[in-house]
Structure 1
Amino acid sequence: MAVPFSPDRLVAILRAEGVRVVEVDSWRTHNRNHRGSFGPINGVMIHHTVSSGAESSVRLCYDGYDELPGPLCHGVIAKDGTVYLISAGRANHAGAGDGDVLGAVIDEQELPAPNDRSADGNVHFYGFECINLGNGHDPWPAEQLNAVELASAAICRAYGWSAASVIGHKEWTNQKVDPVGFSMTDMRARIDRRLGTKPEQPKPNPTPPPTPQYAPFPGVGWFKNNPRSPLITAMGRRLVAVGCSRYSQGPGPQWTESDRQSYAAWQRSLGYSGTDADGWPGPSSWAALKVPQV
């Protein structure tokens, strides 16, 4: 029986496989375990979000919505290949699906066509939501598909599974069409090839430089509470350094409208627009800013 990974173990296996990981808010305890069990684990399920924009997509999958509370997956895979972890427990991603499909996944056999909804996939699968509109026209960058391969292979390797344990949502239930835009058969072939080799390890360096220590993202709610903290000063200095200052004086430790306007300029410089560039920090733009620990 495959038990779920601890949060630390999940991060470790993903990073060992080469996945670029961002930990979002309280993801380690953010789950739906009060609604049912999580485990035994039998596979990995791949989805698309039907959304665009990293920050808004991560927030949607973290929070969910009225009809479907979050978390809506375990990780969100962005266009640039970053995997944003949003849960380590039960998540609302798979829903009801075909019990015969679950049996085939467990036995690592060819998948039957799904035709019933007799099994609860939220119990048995890790789920990754890939940011894509799902309209057949939104591209799948090589970095994103590589991250799907890496994340799936990491879990399969840790459990001793083959790529037959990785399925698309549309292979679980005939009520879904995702993922649209790439072949799950081709993706499983990629995963099996990767599982046949050891993950590439970084070459030893006798005098490696110290790893920069960056401040973790404190959550958008923290900023909206008008904090006073040395972290705000450190953030402001980074915004000045990257040419996004909108300060008439400072920056200082108190969050102000000048901080928000400066951060909005930073978001726009990354290519965000609309509500994704409203000046309230989000996890991906925060990671890109590289605010030092204070």
Structure 2
Amino acid sequence: MATPLTAAAFLAALRAEGVRVQEHNNWRTHNRNSKGPWGPVHGVMIHHTVTKGTSDTVKIVRDGYSALPGPLCHGMIAKDGVVHLVGYGRANHAGLGDPDVLAAVIAERRPPADNEATVDGNRAFYGFECENLGDGHDPWPDAQIDAIVRVITAICRKHGWGARSALRHLDWQPGKVDPRGPGMDWDTVLAAVAKRLGSKPPTTPLPTPAKPKVDLSQLIAAAKSNPKASGQPVTYTGVKTVEAALVDEGLLSKTYSDGHYGTTTVASYAAWQRKCGYTGKDADGIPGRSPLERLGSKHGFTVTA
């Protein structure tokens, strides 16, 4: 638990750790503080962007989307290892997550499998998005991994934290898979952070995250009822797991991965059904078992009745 660093202290800590930094516009005062507090902070969260191209990615994480205003992080770690600072203060990066995971981060121990989304992560963490397609195939260059290690180390060193004060988005929120891909080995990252901090690496390996479960009947009910309802109701939490998979497939914008099975999600799921070879009424965006199981097999969730 700590008071967030000042922007000046944050920048100095990064530079002292050898991080190559590029500052963008009014990053020191660009935040979402009007929507809620930032702090006390407990750790550093790492994400991937599901984007390609550094300049475009910087613009996205700085400005956000109509449904998710920026900044979407404090810094964006590019493929070449440069850290682009785009905001400071409360940022739209973590969303709601698991209270047991937060307790583990505070205690600096291995996080349990996340199965809840009830705690405000935007308040509790520094957030860094990393330029990567997020498809499980886009590689993580050594320069980018080194920058991630240095960023985590800089913040942990300044606050007196250990390596277990770093976590991945997938550790925090059910249905998330980031960061992933060739070259991204989280145990290796944490060991490198510990080495730079002059401490022993974490002795307990991270558990293999339990696969989320998606109830087909509840998903169908959401698909049929949500588009007709006013506002953006979230009637079944498993929708977000399916939407995260559709984002990874490139069929749904990350903006609409909100747990609401609205018309955009219907259209995206219909595109997945067509990708599976279905047509006509069999590709209407209402889930059926076979395409859903194929999506789950590919993106790490299981389907129940």
Q: Which TM-score bucket, shorter chain as reference?
A: 0.5 to 0.7
Q: Which residue of 1 aligns with 2:57?
A: 57
Structure 2 counterpart of 1:25, one-letter code: N
List per-residue Cα deviations over 1:40-68 (Å, max 9, x = no partner): 01000000000011110000000000111
SS in structure 1 at match of 2:187: helix
1-side partners of 2:67 and 2:129: how far apart?
18
CA positional deviation for 1:128: 0.5
List aligned pairs for 1:109-258, cutoff 5 A.
109-181=109-181, 182-196=184-198
User: What is the distance in 2 between the residues matched to 1:193 and 1:117?
Assistant: 32
Question: In the aligned structure 2, how far is the partner of 1:150 from the partner of 1:189?
Answer: 12
Residue 88 (structure 1) shift: 1.4
CA distance in 1, matches of 2:101, 2:188: 19
State how far apart, in whole Å, the 2-side matches of 1:32 and 1:89 are: 7
After TM superposition, the score normalised by the length of structure 2 is 0.64
Query: Which residue of structure 2 aligns with residue 14 of structure 1?
Result: 14
Q: Deviations over 1:51-110 (max 9, x none)?
A: 011110000000000111000000000011000011110000000000000000001011
Separation of aligned partners in 1, 2:104 and 2:48:
23
Report runs of 4+ in structure 1 exceeding 2 Å deviation: none
Q: Deviations over 1:215-259 (max 9, x none)?
A: xxxxxxxxxxxxxxxxxxxxxxxxxxxxxxxxxxxxxxxxxxxxx
Structure 1 stretch 182-191 or stretch 133-142: which is displaced more? 182-191
Identity percentage of aligned residues: 55
Gaps of 5+ in 1: 198-294
Of 163-172 and 134-143, more deviation after overlay is shown by: 134-143
Distance 2:185 2:102 in 1: 20
Residues 158-205 of structure 1: per-residue CA shift (max 9 Å, x gap) = 0001100000000001121100121222211111111118xxxxxxxx
Task: Find the aligned partners of 2:108 and 2:62 in 1 and give their Cα distance.
Answer: 31
* Residue aligned with 1:127, SS: strand
CA distance in 1, matches of 2:5, 2:88: 7
Give the distance between the partners of 2:36 and 2:100, measured in 1 at CA.
Answer: 21
In structure 2, list runs of 5 or more residues that go unmatched: 200-305
- Give the C-alpha shift of residue 33 in structure 1: 0.2
Counterpart CA distance in 2 for 1:21 and 1:147 is: 10
Separation in 1, partners of 2:63, 2:26:
11
Q: Distance in 1 between matches of 2:75 and 2:10?
A: 11
- Matched with 1:234 is none
Q: Output the CA distance in 2 between the equivalents of 1:24 and 1:86.
A: 6
Aligned partners of 1:89 and 1:145: how far apart in 2? Answer: 24
Higher RCO (CA < 8 A, seq sep 6+): 1
In the alignment, is the contact (CA less than 8 A) between 1:5 and 1:88 conserved in 2?
Answer: no
C-alpha distance in structure 1 between counterparts of 2:165 and 2:9, whole Å: 19
Q: 2:83 is matched with which residue?
A: 83
TM-score, structure 1 normalization:
0.66
Q: Give the CA RMSD over aligned residues.
A: 0.9
